[in-house]
Amino acid sequence: MDPLIVIIEDDPVISELVAYNLAGEGYRTVVYRDGRSMLDKRQDIKDVSLFILDIMLPGMDGIEICKTIRGITAFKNVPVIMLTARGSESDKVRALETGADDYVTKPFAVREFLARVKANIRRYVSELSEDPKIVKNQTVSATSDTILSSGIILDDIRHRVFRNGREIDMTNREYELLKFMMKNKGIAFSREDLLQHVWGYEYAGETRTVDVHIRQIRIKIGDDGDTPAIIETIRGRGYRFNDRERLQ
C-alpha cells in the first residue's frame, strides 16, 4: 500500500497544490483544515508515514499540533515537516525544538519539497523495518551494541539515552543524530554531511535544521561548555563528537 501523508493546511490553494504533487508521486493523502479536526479523528488514521503541518493555523497552531502529535504513542516517531512563512526564523526554531524533523519555507520549490518528503518517508520506513519492536510490538534480541562515550549511554535496542544515571528524553531525529555522531566519534562532519546521513537528503538546501538539533542535544546532554566539548563546533567544517574520556 502506498504511504499515507496527513496534511494540515487551512489554505485550500496550498493544500491542493501539495496533495496534487504528492499524488503524482504515488502517495495517498488526507487533508485537514485545522489540527483539532485531525486529532478528533486520530483513531481512524492508520499507518501514517508523514505529517505536513502549516504553522499558521486557526485554533491550534502547527507548533502546538506537533507537540501534541509527539505525545501520542502511535505518532511519536512519525516524521513531521512544517510549512513556514519566509522570514519567520523564530517559528522555524520553535518548530524544530518542538520535535519537527524539518521545515519547508513558503513559497517553496516543488522539486525540493518532494525530495524532503521522500527522504523523510524513506528513512522512517527503513527505521521500521530495522526495528521489529515497532512493527510487531514484541521483545527482540539485541541487534547492535549499546554505545558508551563521554558519560553518555545510548541503548539502541530500547531507543533510550542516559547520562549520569539520568534518562534523557529526545525526539526521534535528535536521537538519530546523536547516535550517528557517537558511532562516528572523532570525525568532523559538515552540516551537509549530517543532512545526508541522518535526514537522508541528497542535497542540502537550508542547513539551519542541523544547528537547531545540535543545540537541543547539547542542552539535553548537559554539554555545558567544558573543554573539550562533547559536540564540538569545527570552524569552517561543521561538528564533531568527542570522546572526553580518551582526550583527558
The angle formed by the CA atoms of residues 3, 75 and 83, to the nearest 5 degrees, is 70
pLDDT at 125: 85
Asked whether the beta carbons of 190 and 238 are under 8 A apart, the reply is yes
In the beta sheet, which residues pair with residue 166? Answer: 163
Average pLDDT value for residue range 99-105: 89
For residue 3, the 8-state DSSP code is: P
Say yes or no to pLDDT of 157 above 80.
Answer: yes
Q: What would the grid cell of residue 187 be?
A: 570525525
Sign of CA dihedral 71, 4, 31, 21: positive
In the beta sheet, which residues pair with residue 152? Answer: 149, 163
For residue 20, the 8-state DSSP code is: H
Q: Which residue has the higher pLDDT, 131 or 175?
A: 175
Read off the pLDDT of residues 21-45 as tens digits, 9 standing for 90 and up. 999 999 999 999 999 999 999 888 8
One-letter amino acid of 33: R
Q: Residue 225: which pLDDT band, with cuts at 50, 70 and 90?
A: low
Q: Is the peptide bond before 228 cis (omega within 30 degrees of 0)?
A: yes
How many other C-beta atoms lie within 10 A of the C-beta of residue 45? 17
pLDDT at 135: 36
Domains of the chain from N-terminus onward: 4-134 (3.40.50.2300), 147-247 (1.10.10.10)
Asked whether the beta carbons of 190 and 203 are under 8 A apart, the reply is no
Asked whether the beta carbons of 22 and 117 are under 8 A apart, the reply is yes
Asked whether the beta carbons of 221 and 230 are under 8 A apart, the reply is yes
pLDDT at 140: 30
Phi, psi for residue 219 in degrees, rounded to 5? -65, -45
Read off the pTM: 0.78
pLDDT at 35: 93
Say yes or no to pLDDT of 237 above 60.
Answer: yes
In DSSP notation, 150-203 reads TTEEEETTTTEEEETTEEE---HHHHHHHHHHHHTTT-EEEHHHHIIIII--SS
Average pLDDT value for residue range 206-235: 86
Q: Residue 89: which pLDDT band, with cuts at 50, 70 and 90?
A: confident
Q: Is the peptide bond before 107 cis (omega within 30 degrees of 0)?
A: yes
pLDDT at 226: 66
